A and B are shown apart, each in its own frame.
Chain A
Amino acid sequence: MDRVARKSRRNRRRLWAHLPLAIVAVATIIPFYVMIVLSLRKGRSLSLPDALLPFHVNFGAYADVLAHAQVVRWMLNTAAYSVISVVLVLVFASFAAYAFAKKRFFGRNAMFWTLLATLMVPYHLTLIPQFILISKMDGLDTLWGLIVPTLANTQALFLMRQFIMGIPDELIEAARIDGAGEIRLFWQIVLPQTKPILATLGVFVFLWHWNDFLWPLVATRSPDHYVLTVGLNSLQAQDSSLTVTMAGAVLTFLPILLVYVLLQRYFVRGVTMSGLK
């Protein structure tokens, strides 16, 4: 078989490979399409197939949902919950990860095994005591009450530790001999090396918090303190019109989509790292 023929056969085969890939891609996208088209369908018939054809765009539902007194608050609450949590999770996890990776101290292994073991405990067992604890501390319906219980993120600690263990000891020793204090050593030698993992974890922790539902559901009472997921659920439970609920769904999804489009490779890295550690 000559090379040209083989090549063209391979090309045809490659073309065929697109078919199942494309079918699944379309099936994956359809719910998003439905969400967007419905959100633009304000004041029109919702009977099929008219409801799903992309004509007669009307942003009225977005105006309505944004005029809903609390939606903007929910966005701010969600942003605060996510951003503050990301920063604090990364700070605490990287501090601890550095010690676990590069230092010997009393009880290190025992602590580490305890951390590992608690990964097996379902979050739902701790939910009620956590709720009681936060309510005793008068933290229900407050931003700090929402954030603080989520800060001891063990996965983040493990991945950070794994990464810091890869930093050569010589680098740290050299800086120490040059007279760097512990804090400076951490801040100027270790931390800059961990930028890739910080970015990856940052993106993931942001995702978890932005999409978190159960804890905000029990830890907030008044609609003023809801986050978007809880708010969106209440919108739909209140029987707001379908188009307004869908506009709310789009607004909840949009920031995550933006982060995803900009930082896609960090998402991919985060998934593969957690799978293959």
Chain B
Amino acid sequence: MTTQTAPRTEPAAGRPARPSRWSRMRRSGSGMALLFVAPYLLLFLVFRILPTLAGMALSLAKYQITGILEWRGLDNFQRLFTDDLFWNALRVTAVYTVIAVPLTLVVALAMAQLSARSIRGIRVYRALYFLPVITSLVTSGVIWQWLYAEHGPLNGLFGLLGIGPVPWLSSGAAVLPSLSLLSVWTRFGYDMLILLAGLLAIPQEYSEAAMLDGASAWQRFWHITLPQLKPAMFFVVILEIVQSFQVFDVIYVMTGGGPVRSSYSLVFFVYDQGFHYFDFGYASAAGVVLFAITLIVSLVQRRLFRED
């Protein structure tokens, strides 16, 4: 950011003592550079910075669809913290995250480990695992809703095993585990690829040396692979937690927050308050809470992962 000033040691012979401000700017291409950034920056200011600030401001106000804005201070937050629906949304989101994230990561890590070997057809496997990642969550939701239907294939299979119909999406106790299972399906392929890239970057020599020293496969994994994989793990864990906290599409498509609000997540709360009740200020306050949680999660994790 510091503008370049000509160093004193520069041979000054035959040159004007000090170039004018304008020509210095031209030489460093500053004006031109601003032209290159301008279109992006304009869009960024209007559609990213402005809405971020406006979202924070709205959380302190009551804003009607008619366009009347009244400042309310911290009223919205006060209301949030005494609103059972909001606490329910927080709880739903946290429970979903606690189930879905470890499950997805374990599957992703296991599959990365398995598919790190160079065996025949390994590319085909990897390509198949990635298919759910590229599928829209709406499409996934439509399919899985039927998989989970009362007379759907999963219950058909369980019926053969003599297990009575499981109320996958229709009972409050089962709905979050069911959605977590779907999340494993949609996300493990992505995490697997990142972890796989991390695994393949670990030099073989460590493992070979440990093997000569008689370390078991489990010891090698625990003491050599996992520490080396830390940066990739860090990225994947943050990504998964942030994404889980923002779960929306599948809930909108599959359960509508039900049954009886047992899948009513935080972003669903934001959407519902904003676009169903048009309570924009209140919805924005919940958005600010989501922001705060995201921030805290990544700060805590940064600290945890840095400690050795």
Interface residues of A (CB under 8 A from B): 14, 17-18, 20-22, 24-25, 27-29, 31-32, 34-35, 38, 47-49, 51-52, 91-93, 95-96, 98-100, 103-111, 114-115, 118, 120-133, 148-152, 154, 157, 182, 186, 207, 210-211, 213-214, 217-218, 228-230, 232-233, 236, 242, 245-246, 248-249, 252-253, 256-257, 260, 264, 267-268, 271-272, 274-276
Contacts and interface: CB of A to CB of B under 8 A. Distances in A.
B294 to A, nearest CB: 6
B86 interface: no
Interface residues of B, number: 97
Given A48-B152, A127-B274, 15 more contacts: A20-B114, A21-B125, A110-B1, A111-B41, A121-B48, A121-B291, A122-B242, A122-B245, A126-B48, A128-B287, A133-B47, A154-B44, A256-B134, A274-B194, A275-B193
A207 B134 contact: yes
Nearest to B275: A218
A34 B152 CA distance: 10
B21 to A, nearest CB: 11
B36 A213 contact: no
A122 B30 contact: no
B51 A105 contact: no
Nearest to A261: B127
A267 B294 contact: no
Interface string B153-167: 100100000000000
B7 to A, nearest CB: 15
Interface stretch (B8-16, B138-146, B168-176): B138-146
A34 B29 contact: no
- In this complex, which of A21, A207, A218 has the most chain B Cβ atoms within 10 angstroms of its Cβ? A21
B203 interface: no
B51 A129 contact: yes
A17 B33 contact: no
A70 B51 CA distance: 32
A124 B136 contact: no
Given A233-B252, A275-B198, A213 B138 contact: yes
B207 interface: no
B17 interface: no
Nearest to B298: A120
Contacts of B222: none
Nearest to B289: A125
A27 B147 CA distance: 12
Interface string B43-73: 1101111111011101000010000000000
B173 to A, nearest CB: 23
Nearest to B193: A271
Contact of B142 (A124, A128, A245): A245
A47 B151 contact: yes
8 contacts: A28-B185, A124-B246, A182-B29, A182-B32, A229-B136, A246-B143, A256-B134, A275-B198
Given A124-B290, A213-B137, A246-B142, A105 B33 contact: yes
A118 to B, nearest CB: 6
B54 A34 contact: no
Nearest to A103: B33
B111 interface: yes
Contacts of B32: 103, 182
Contacts of B119: 14, 17-18
B271 to A, nearest CB: 7
B76 interface: no
A107 B33 CA distance: 11
Contacts of A271: 190, 193-194, 197
A31 B145 CA distance: 10
A126 B185 CA distance: 29
A17 B118 CA distance: 11
A21 B139 CA distance: 25
B6 interface: no
A195 B275 CA distance: 41
B147 A34 contact: yes
Given A21-B125, A35-B143, A99 B294 contact: no
A165 to B, nearest CB: 15
A95 B235 contact: no
Nearest to B120: A14
- In this complex, which of A118, A127, A148 has the most chain B Cβ atoms within 10 angstroms of its Cβ? A127
Nearest to B239: A275
A253 B136 contact: yes
Interface string B251-278: 0110000000000000100110011000
